[in-house]
Amino acid sequence: MAIKWSDFALQSLVEIILWYEQEAGRNVADSIENRIFKQVDNIDLFPMRAPESDIFLGTRKLVITNLPYVAFIRNIENDYWEVVDIVHTSRKLPKSE
């Protein structure tokens, strides 16, 4: 199933990658970005790994393994997955738009 990223989620991802680039360099930022995309892309293989979220109704909470991030994803009419947002686990939720 296809995966689409909301504008809100893409902006969050850009902020994450920019932070890693500033703190640890481009190679680390690229590695983090690739790890996030790979785990989100694998949602079809292990959909039950992402339980229903009680924070954002109608979404699933995909914990990004070995990183302090959670992706909130929803299934749109069994047609595609939409990444609604990706947030640091220490952030108070829900984040305002």
pLDDT digits (tens, 9 = 90+) for 14-43: 999 999 999 999 999 999 999 999 999 988
For residues 3 and 36, give the distance between their C-alpha atoms in angstroms, rounded to a whole number.
13
Q: How confident is the model at residue 54 (pLDDT cuts 50, 70, 90)?
A: confident
For residues 71 and 73, give the distance between their C-alpha atoms in angstroms, rounded to a whole number.
6
**pLDDT of res. 93:** 54
Backbone angles phi, psi at 40, to 5 degrees: -65, -40
Decide if pLDDT at 46 tops 80: no
Q: How confident is the model at residue 1 (pLDDT cuts 50, 70, 90)?
A: confident
SS3 content of the chain, % helix, strand, coil (to 5): 40, 30, 30
Domains of the chain: 2-88 (3.30.2310.20)
For residues 72 and 58, give the distance between their C-alpha atoms in angstroms, rounded to a whole number.
10
**Reported pTM:** 0.85
